[in-house]
Structures are given as structure tokens and as C-alpha cells.
Amino acid sequence: MEDLISRAERLASTGDWDGAMSLASELVAKYPNEMKVWLLRADLYGRNRAYASAIADLSRAIEISPMEPCLFHERGLDALALGNDQAATEDFTRGLELCDRQKSDYYRESFHFLRAEAFLRLRRKKEALADLAHVREDQKAWTYRLRTKAELLYECNSLDD
């Protein structure tokens, strides 16, 4: 399975999206209870802007591995891409809960940054500012484009209370 996943990733990296997706779909059919194959195909869908399909595959991966923060990170990003900001905040909140539970900070700052973006879109200034308080001044992340903490703060402060 791992070799086939690597092969699909190589195909994608060379631009052979059809070959990569075909192999990923074969993996999903052959290993339907393996989180990694669903994550692989979700990643391929996401790279091709098929966000609804990516979300469906990530939801299946979460059913298999509900304690994996990266799955909530990726599904939240896809929800942001679709403009489903409420679903994105829920995924980023769940990811932060998992960070606390697992005593891991690996995704913490990213979850706060991305959730602040979603809160900002929802015009929830107070929550966005609270999240940004947990983010380094030089932090940047891709949402719908490359965004900076300073940019998010400026937009928050432009909102009415």
C-alpha cells in the first residue's frame, strides 16, 4: 500500500493527474479502511479544486482516524475554499481540541490563524482577534490567497463591533 501511495504521489508531482487519481481510486477500493488512501485522494481532489470531493474523502478518513489533527486541518482548508466558513471554524476548533488532548502544538498556530480567517469572514471580530492573539507577528498562511497576520488584524479592526 505504501509503495502505491508513493507512486501516486510521484505521478501527481510530474503532472499526471489522471494516473495519480486512477491509482488513488484503486487504493480506496482496495483499502477502504485505511485513512492514508482517503487522505491521498482528498489531497489530489483539493489540488484540482474539487473541494466537495476532497471534503467527502476527508470525512471518510476522519471516520477511520477521528483523533488525527491533520485531517481536520485539511478539511477545514477545503471548507474555507468552498466558502463554508462555519464548517471551517468547526474543523479548526476540533483540531485545537485534539492539540490540547494530545499535548501537541504542531498544528496549533495554524489552526488559530485559519480559524481567525473563517471568523473574520463570518464577521465575528471578537473571536478572530482572540485567535490572532495566539499567532506570531510574522505568520502567513494560504487561505484564498497568501494572508498575513497584519492583514487579518487590519480587516478585523475595520469591522464594526
pLDDT tens track for 28-50:
999 999 999 999 999 999 999 99
Q: What is the pLDDT of residue 144?
A: 87
Q: Compute CA 144 distance to the chain's CA centroid, rounded to the nearest angstrom.
A: 12
73 and 148: one domain?
Answer: yes
Whether pLDDT at 161 is above 80: no
Same domain membership, residue 110 and residue 44 = no
Q: What is the pLDDT of residues 1-32, one digit of tens each?
A: 999 999 999 999 999 999 999 999 999 999 99
Please identify, among 66, 92, 112, the residue that sits at the C-terminal boundary of a domain: 66
Percent of the chain with pLDDT over 70: 100
Please count the structural domains in the chain.
2
Query: Is 39 in the same domain as 75?
Result: no
Residues 61 and 107 placed together within one structural domain of the fold: no
Q: Is 80 exceeded by the pLDDT of residue 159?
A: yes
DSSP string across 65-108: -TT-HHHHHHHHHHHHHHT-HHHHHHHHHHHHHHHHHHT--TTH
Give residue 32's pLDDT. Answer: 98
Instruction: Answer yes or no: are the C-beta atoms of 73 and 111 closer than 8 Å.
Output: yes
Are 101 and 159 found together in one domain? yes
Domain that holds residue 120: 69-161
Q: Pick from 27, 51, 66: which residue ends a domain?
A: 66
Instruction: State the angle between helix axes of 108-121 and 149-158 in degrees (0 to 180), rounded to the nearest 10.
Output: 30
Q: Model pTM? A: 0.95
Alpha-carbon distance 81 to 102, whole Å? 27
Q: What is the tens place of the pLDDT at every residue in 51-98?
A: 999 999 999 999 999 999 999 999 999 999 999 999 999 999 999 999
Co-location of 7 and 51 in the same domain: yes
97 and 157 share one domain:
yes
17 and 42 housed in the same domain: yes
130 with 157, same domain: the answer is yes
Q: pLDDT confidence of 160, banded at 50, 70, 90?
A: confident
Which amino acid appears at position 113 of this protein? F
Answer yes or no: do 39 and 53 share one domain: yes
